[in-house]
Every structure is written in structure tokens, then in C-alpha cells.
Structure 1
């Protein structure tokens, strides 16, 4: 995160027109105060500084903190606050996407504005993150998405929307999607995995994929595609880790290579497929991203970008430990049952279009309750 933070602070210091930030989490901790000070300095220069924070994701941050930001010239607005819900508005979808626009530059990635993302030598949690800075006409699309979300923030109807550039640019696509079909980011993953010729590398903090995507990964492995997945060893959401542990054996038996990142909490969400496709963003490869939240991802087809993303993956792979059938975590019957139930719970969250088979038992190769229990 050090490089991302330095780039953000540099862009903020040089901003002359706008600083627009959309985030799920903004806290009143060391990171939050540092950026609040930088935003306030920009506002004093006449920069249009807007902060759109999700009211649920930022619920631990006291209201006076945001009031102080407003007093300093920062236009801070809660997305779908509790008052809207109490008036009969929708609680979901939440604004999980992270989009930053600073003049002609845009940022997309999974980082939030909290101490977990500060390096450890600066007093933070040292979480591992991958973000992308982009320039060019695509930034205008990011601005349009931000403005729409900004206007809809207090709407009781809870409307949400999909947005994608639709091939306007040859080498980059900016996508946001809402938890309803078509799930554009999910579909882009499916399409590209089906077309993979050499490799499918996924690094994701909360990997427990919808069954349709899981089957595509297994099919890719059966075709001889190099399918590697990096997940965190220690997770801040043990529910997702436990659910994925229930599927480890099935994944390994069907050719998926699983690695657990060791140094810190891995919070990144990116993928590299072949030499001409990479994506970075907020999409968690599990059903919650299809059911409850709006996401934002950048898809890039520039070979140089894809090479850089592959290098990041390879460096993270060196800091990870391979999971094999002979070194699966040894769990007792109750822990296995717990994990299997969490896995089934994620199945129940899946929208029908995501590929879960509701009217028949899942074949053994796709996992299921008995294989999860080791039966």
C-alpha cells in the first residue's frame, strides 16, 4: 500500500479541480485523519472535494468526525444512511465500490480509508492490497458513475445501476454493477475463464466462488489451464474462510492450485488471464458481491499492464504456501460441520443466475455437504 498512498497524497497535493472519493469504509483513525487533513488543504485551494462513504461500512465512525470534515470544506455525504432506511427505504445494495477521481487520474481497487491499510511501520495493520491508477478517457466514465451515486445517496427507493464502457475503448473497460442480473463483472470473469488458453490466476481476499464460476475454473483446469488461486491464511472474515475450507478438497481434486498468503491479511481482488487480460477492483469472488453490494472493477487488455499484474501475482505467490491434499488443515467433526454449513449458506445466498443447482444434489466434483465433511 505504500506506493498507492504516496501516489494518492501526491495527486491530492497537486489537485486543482476535483477530488471525488467513493468508499465503503472511512474511519476516524490515523489514516482517516491524514487524508481528512489533505482533503481540507485542497478544499482551501478551491478544489471541489467530495467524499461519498457507505453508512453501513462506516458505521463505527462517529457523526461529529464527518461534521468536522464538512466544516473544513469537504462535501461528505453518507450513502444510504439509516435515516433513509427508517423512512422505508432499502438497506441494500450497499456502496462497496471504491472509486477515486483526482482531476484527470482515477483509482480503482479494494483499499479503504482505515488504519488496516497503513504500513506496519507507520502504525497500521499492513494489509496487502492491489490498486490501479488510470488516466485517459476512461476517467470520465468514473466521474459519471460517481455523480450518479452521489445523487442517489439519500434516495429511499434504493435504486442501483450497472455501468460499463461496452468496448468504447480497445484496451480498458470500467465496470460497475448492482446486485441483479446482468452481473456484469461476474459475467466478464466467466467469459474470460471459458476462453482461457494458458493461465487463470486469481488473487482474492474472500474467495468462495459462486458455483457457476467454480465449475468454469474446474473445467479450465481439466483443459490443462494453469489455475492458481491466492487467498489469505488469516482472514478478517472467518465465515468466508471457513466456507472455503469446506471446499478445499474438492478444488484440489479438480485441478485448482490453492495458495495461502502468509505475511499479512491479503485484501486484494485481482485476476490475470493469459497475457492479454487483467482485472483489478472490489469484486469479492463469492455470492455476497452478487446479492448485497455494488462493485467496481477495471478490466485492462494492455499487454504491459497484464505483465505487471502477473509480476505482482508471482511476487505474492513467493510469499504464499501451497495447499495440498496431504497438508489440509486437520479439523474435528464439529469444525467440519460448521464449515460445511457456512458453505451451504453461501449457496443459499447465490442468485439463481449465478449457477447454483437448486433441484439436484451437487455432483461430488463440485463439492457438497458430504465431501465437505470428509465422508
Structure 2
């Protein structure tokens, strides 16, 4: 057998293994995925769209913690802001505060020595979603993309920001970083706490859900909201349902616009029945091929009469869907197939007109800092771009 044939059979064998691993892993995933939604609650909400403002507030609240700090992030970088964050957690643990830090195994950039120093200071640390057999490839693709912070069971945070200098406007290429992150107080914190503790149990095998110390009595807030966790199986249904109920307008803000077939069909149907559809995406890209993967969808929407805006003032990373000024969905999920079919996500549905008006004002500001796109902006200008778009379409499920 020649070397050429050997290489062919090796590649064919790898392709066969990856395909079988993915299909069987997906089958197991869907069989084990939990479908649940928390009840509607009344909380008080603030929204942050700038990293420096969020981190100043978040770090200040962490410093004031007296009992426990529960934090989950998809990404924690190895840079100045991350070092400040790690030092803060170690200091609180040494003060006697219970500190639990949960990070995604692939997303995080924490070094071993940093993790060792956290544990030495008393911080309880765990990785979530470590790839494992028998489906190594598939399990490496299923990530915990949630970003949750709960302080003393009374203050919570959820949204699109991670921990790192680029999220704090310190990356020359992507700054300023534009994102939406919620701060909550009130009765909704109980569900945020439960979701963290479920993820903690899955990662550490320690069940703290029955510990009343983590669930203090909470007062009702003024804003009706509902947390919806998804595990790579039901986000598509949630988004498709929201879009199908739209009567007047749909606004989508996302860094990655790669909708599923069902969701895209619902968007087309909404336009057909006279609903105004607006999509806000970044002009800059922070990952290879994600921009090109969106082109065919954006071209189609533009042809049907939708408005598409490309954010120019830095990098746009927010995750928001607004329906008729009546429902606003803000959370950790991108408007893409990875969030819909692979990632563990957590979204917050908000039903309060005054808060939705505040979010719409932020969206309007971001559109003013954007370029209103035309079909020409997403045309295949040359062979190389055409190749990139074709490649992006092939692997769009994983982008």
C-alpha cells in the first residue's frame, strides 16, 4: 500500500470516528438533557453595557460579601483584570467567606499555578464540562456558556461579559467591548442560585441544593422576569416561539447570527405577516469564519425587507431579543446554532415595559453607532471570500 493510500485511509478513519462520535454523543445528550423553566418572579434589575462599569460594580459587591460567593464564567483570561479578580476571590476566602468558582474546561485560560493558589487560599474550584469518553469529540463541543454570579444569596449577575482585559476595553483590536449584563436583586435570585448549584453539583459531585444557608428570605422586586436554562436542546423552541408571537417588531442583537432552519423560517414568516425585523451584529469579528457564516442569512433578510446594522464602535457581543416592546430576552445565549444545539445557556425573559424601554434606548444608541447594511455589504466580492463563506457554512453548527 502506497503512502497516499495510507493517508487516505487514516483520514477516512478519523472522519468516520468523528461522525460516529458526534451522532452517538448527540443521541445521548438529548436523552439526558433536562428541560425545565423557572417560574416568573419579581426582581429589581440593572443593566450594564460597558465593561469598566460592570467590573467596578461587580468587584465592589464581591468585596462586601459576608457569607458566600458563587461564580461561574465561561472564560477567565490570564491577564491584568483576571489577576485582580483571582486575588479578590482569594482575599475573600481568607476572610472566611465561602467562595466557589466554576469555569468551563475549554473556555477558561487559568493556569495550573493560579488554580493551585486559589485552592490554597480556600477557594473551592471546579471545572465544568470536562470532555470524557466514550464520546470525546462530542463532549468537547458541549460547553457551559453560562455566566452567573450570586453573592450572599441576595445579589446576582447574568449576561454576556466574561473575565478578561478585552471585556474591560483593553484590547486594541476589539475595544470598546459592547455587551449587556444584568444585575439582580429580589426573589429571582433564588433561581439564579439554584442554577449555579445544579452546575456545581454536576461538576463537583457535591449537592448543596438543600442547604438553606444559600437561600435567604427575599423580597419581591418590581420587575416581572423569568429565568430559562437550556442544555443544547430547547433554546431553538424558545426563540422560535417568541418570534412566532411577534405582532409588530423584532429586534435581535447578537455577535454571531447563525440561526437554525426553524428559527430562520419563523423570521421569514414574521416579515411576511408585516413584522418589522431588525438585526444588530458587529462589523468586526473575534472568531474565524463566524462573520462569513452569517452572510447568507443576512442577505436573505435584507432581500425580504429586514434592517441589518453592523456595529462600528468596537466589538458588539450582546445577546438580546426584543419582541413588540413587550418581551425582552437577555442572557448568555448567542443567536447561533452552537448556543441552540450544543451549549448550556441561561436567559432571562423580562416583561416590564419600563425596563424594556431602557434596553431599547441602549439598542437605539448602538444602532446609531452602526452602519446600516445593504446587500452589497454581504456580496461575494472575490473567490477567497466565496471560499470562506462556503467553509463557514460547512461547519456553522460548531462556530
TM range (shorter): 0.7 to 0.9
Deviation at 1:116, TM superposition (A): 1.2
In the alignment, what sits opposite 2:86?
A: 36
Q: Which residue of 2 aligns with 1:52?
A: 102
Instruction: Note the C-alpha offset of 1:187.
Output: 2.1
CA distance in 1, matches of 2:117, 2:296: 46
d(CA) in 1 for partners of 2:382, 2:81: 40
Is it true that 1:314 corresponds to 2:364 in the alignment? yes
Under a length normalisation based on structure 2, what TM-score does the superposition of the two structures give? 0.77
Distance 2:107 2:171 in 1: 26
Q: CA RMSD in A?
A: 2.6
In 1: Cα distance, 2:67 partner to 2:172 partner: 30
Structure 1 counterpart of 2:145, from 74, 96, 103: 96
Cα drift, residue 313 of structure 1: 0.5
In the aligned structure 2, how far is the partner of 1:122 from the partner of 1:216?
38
- Kindly indicate whether residue 323 of structure 2 is the aligned counterpart of residue 270 of structure 1: no
What is residue 120 of structure 2 aligned with on the other side?
71
Match of 2:281 among 231, 250, 262: 231
TM-superposed CA distance for 1:253, in Å, is 0.5
Report what 2:74 is aligned to: 24
User: Cα 1:122–1:92, aligned 2, differ >3 Å: closer, same or farther?
Assistant: closer
Offset, 1:80: 3.0
Report the alpha carbon displacement of residue 124 of structure 1 after superposing the two structures with TM: 8.8
Encode CA deviations 1:13-41: one digit per residue, 9 max, x unaligned.
Answer: 21112211111111221111111122122
TM-score (norm 1): 0.82
Larger Rg: 2
- Residue number in structure 2 paired with 1:62: 111
Q: 8 Å contact 2:236–2:260 — kept in the other structure?
A: no
Structure 2 gap ranges (5+):
1-50, 206-221
Structure-2 residue corresponding to 1:178 = 231
Corresponding residue for residue 209 of structure 2: none
The partner residue of 1:10 within 57, 60, 69 is: 60
Whether the 8 Å contact between 2:101 and 2:124 is mirrored in structure 1 is yes
Residues 317-373 of structure 1, C-alpha deviation per residue, up to 9 Å, x if partnerless? 010001112444552134224303422433x679xxxxxxxxxxxxxxxxxxxxxxx
Deviates more, 1:198-207 or 1:218-227: 218-227
Taking the TM superposition and a 5 Å limit, the aligned residue runs for 1:234-245 are 234-245=284-295
Alignment coverage as a number of residue pairs:
331
Q: CA separation of 1:5/1:244 partners in 2, compared to 1, >3 Å: closer, same or farther?
A: same
Match of 1:113, SS state, is: coil
Alpha-carbon distance in 2 for matches of 1:109, 1:273: 19
Distance 1:69 1:86, change over 3 A: farther
Change (3 A) 1:204 1:327: closer
1:268 offset after TM fit, Å? 1.1
How big is the shift at 1:299?
0.7
**Distance across 1 between alignment mates of 2:319 and 2:135:** 35
